[in-house]
């Protein structure tokens, strides 16, 4: 692959990819990135010197194919001059649309070489490793569209979702937060066996759920009750899942395309890849969104799922909510990677690192990943950096492993507060609208309390009814034995 690249090393500014050749001509293997700078002599001589000459390909400028402009992140401060970067790469690389990828022009460990085409000064930089052009790497810092103060981020990577979407996100987050608080209270009242709160993670939960299309599948974990409810599942059916112990799953997964909430870490990742790959084989326009926490990324199932998804180009979005702790284990004790999103490169899976407390950024990132998967371009790994305000569950004492000051710092980054400020400043939200939403949330919480205070009528025969489509002789015998003992 051959490409022209404008690089301003001195200013440490993002570069611009002006042209790219991805014709996959047999024998191409030298990747030349040449600066548009009058003080630097460029041309075929430099390319030949790097190994292009034996293949007798035309000069670089003759091979250019104009592509949409792609942002290139400059990550090294190498010189006070504007220079040309030259690297070995593969002609099999290709560039995606800018909203799908992040391109890194230069990775660390570069050797400075004196150009034979220019006298005086260093103008060429060569690195021995392959240059990453199809972005498998995320940005160095989380991408946000709305900052913690509720202000739009200047020069944001993506466009802001529409006002209608932002208003819908706000409403859903208000309702979800009240649902979460009510579920926690029901646990303290003995109506639930356990409840893992997701307070503080509402932007990630709701932003991801609302980005799904009607035909897409959601594969949630035990902490993703807010996302499941936002998908349209009855809140009582959600809470009568493993959280109360009435059923293995309290709702019909096929009604809303929501898989049972997963308690074993990361097992849902393989389920999602299976559904996504099956949809591809059947020619269905279906994308699977799988939710997992930072702790689940340490599981072998996640490795296998990412590997299969990458190989099969399965239409799957891996949505990692990095809330800082796997129960009590901090992220630094789980991985030495610069970010969880950075792991995508090992599987050939493009990755994004986003602010998980920014509903707009979450919605946009997941929407982009879904569009990419639906177009046949394969999976995406998204790391949403967020924080779990409450303890792991009602049985956990979080004060034993994290300081109160850390919690206070994250409370200042509250997702609902920032979105409320943004919408209020734009005139899309006022005191009356906020009061009406609060009243709606309270009414739903009251209805949930009333319904959850009704004891369920359980039939022991249900233990045998839903195991096999056709009951085995052994199960029939066991059912008969239980019936006789119950008389």
- State how far the Cα of 87 lies from the Cα of 11, in Å rounded to an integer: 21
Q: Provide the pLDDT for residue 41.
A: 38
Q: How confident is the model at residue 130 (pLDDT cuts 50, 70, 90)?
A: very low
Give residue-wise pLDDT tens across range 33-66. Answer: 333 334 433 333 333 333 333 344 444 333 333 3
Q: Provide the pLDDT for residue 458.
A: 80
- State how far the Cα of 318 lies from the Cα of 348, in Å rounded to an integer: 13
Sheet containing 288-293: give its strands across: 217-219, 288-293, 316-322, 380-385, 351-355
CB-count exposure of residue 384 (10 Å: 0-12, 13-18, 19+): buried
Answer yes or no: is pLDDT of 9 > 60.
no
Catalytic choice (401, 421, 433, 449): 401
Distance (Å) of CA 278 to CA 78, 274, 282, 288, 372: 48, 6, 6, 11, 17
Residue 487 annotated among the catalytic residues of the structure = no
Q: Provide the pLDDT for residue 456.
A: 77
Task: Return residue ranges of the chain for CATH 3.40.50.970.
Answer: 163-452
**Read out DSSP for 262-274?**
B-STTHHHHHHHH
Q: Provide the pLDDT for residue 248.
A: 66
Phi, psi of 372 (to 5 degrees): -65, -45
Share of the chain above pLDDT 70, in %: 71
Residue 388 annotated among the catalytic residues of the structure = yes
Catalytic choice (6, 277, 388, 418): 388
Kind and range of the H or E run holding 442 = helix 431-452
- The predicted model gives 473-477 an average pLDDT of 94
Residue 29 annotated among the catalytic residues of the structure = no
CB-count exposure of residue 118 (10 Å: 0-12, 13-18, 19+): middle
Q: Provide the pLDDT for residue 8.
A: 41
Q: How far does Cα 98 stand from its chain's mean position? A: 17
- pTM score of the predicted model: 0.72
Catalytic choice (392, 413, 418, 422): 392
Average pLDDT of the chain, as a whole number? 78
Give residue-wise pLDDT tens across range 76-99. Answer: 332 323 333 333 333 333 333 333
- The predicted model gives 279-296 an average pLDDT of 98
Q: Provide the pLDDT for residue 454.
A: 86
Least Cα distance to 22 among 65, 59, 57, 55 occurs for 65
CATH 3.40.50.2000 fits 163-452, yes or no: no
CB-count exposure of residue 266 (10 Å: 0-12, 13-18, 19+): buried
Q: Provide the pLDDT for residue 193.
A: 86
């Amino acid at each position: 692959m051959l490409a022209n690249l404008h690089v301003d090393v001195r200013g440490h500014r993002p570069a611009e990819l002006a042209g790219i050749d991805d014709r996959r001509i047999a024998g191409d293997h030298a990747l030349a990135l040449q600066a548009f700078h009058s003080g630097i002599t460029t041309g075929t001589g430099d390319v030949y010197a790097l190994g292009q000459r034996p293949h007798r390909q035309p000069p670089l400028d003759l091979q250019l194919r104009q592509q949409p402009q792609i942002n290139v992140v400059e990550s090294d401060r190498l010189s006070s001059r504007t220079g040309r970067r030259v690297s070995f790469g593969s002609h099999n690389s290709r560039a995606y649309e800018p909203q799908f990828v992040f391109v890194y022009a230069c990775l660390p460990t570069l050797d400075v070489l004196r150009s034979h085409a220019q006298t005086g000064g260093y103008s060429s930089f060569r690195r021995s490793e392959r240059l990453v052009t199809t972005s498998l790497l995320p940005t160095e810092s989380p991408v946000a569209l709305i900052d913690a103060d509720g202000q739009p981020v200047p020069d944001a990577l993506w466009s802001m979702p529409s006002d209608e979407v932002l208003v819908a996100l706000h409403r859903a987050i208000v309702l979800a937060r009240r649902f979460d608080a009510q579920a926690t209270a029901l646990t303290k009242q003995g109506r639930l066996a356990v409840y893992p709160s997701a307070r503080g993670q509402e932007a990630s939960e709701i932003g991801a759920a609302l980005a799904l299309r009607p035909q897409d599948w959601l594969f949630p974990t035990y902490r993703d009750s807010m996302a499941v409810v936002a998908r349209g599942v009855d809140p009582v059916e959600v809470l009568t899942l493993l959280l109360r112990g009435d059923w293995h799953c309290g709702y019909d997964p096929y009604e809303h395309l929501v898989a049972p909430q997963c308690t074993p870490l990361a097992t849902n990742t393989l389920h999602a890849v299976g559904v996504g790959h099956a949809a591809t084989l059947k020619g269905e326009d279906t994308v699977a969104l799988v939710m997992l926490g930072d702790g689940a990324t340490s599981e072998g199932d996640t490795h296998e799922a990412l590997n299969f998804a990458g190989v099969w180009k399965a239409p799957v979005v891996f949505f990692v909510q990095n809330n800082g702790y796997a129960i009590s284990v901090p992220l630094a004790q789980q991985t030495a990677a610069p970010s969880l999103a950075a792991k995508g490169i090992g599987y050939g899976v493009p990755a994004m690192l986003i602010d998980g407390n920014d509903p707009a950024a979450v919605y946009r990132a997941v929407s982009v990943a879904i569009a990419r998967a639906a177009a046949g371009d394969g999976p995406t790994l998204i790391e949403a950096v967020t924080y779990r305000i409450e303890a792991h569950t009602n049985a956990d004492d979080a004060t034993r492993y994290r300081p109160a000051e850390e919690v206070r710092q994250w409370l200042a980054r509250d997702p609902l507060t920032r979105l409320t400020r943004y919408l209020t400043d734009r005139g899309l939200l006022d005191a009356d609208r906020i009061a009406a939403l609060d009243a709606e949330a309270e009414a739903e919480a009251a209805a949930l309390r009333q319904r959850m205070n009704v004891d369920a009528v359980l039939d022991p025969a249900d233990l045998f009814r839903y195991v096999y489509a056709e009951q085995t002789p052994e199960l029939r015998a066991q059912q008969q034995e239980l019936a006789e003992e119950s008389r």
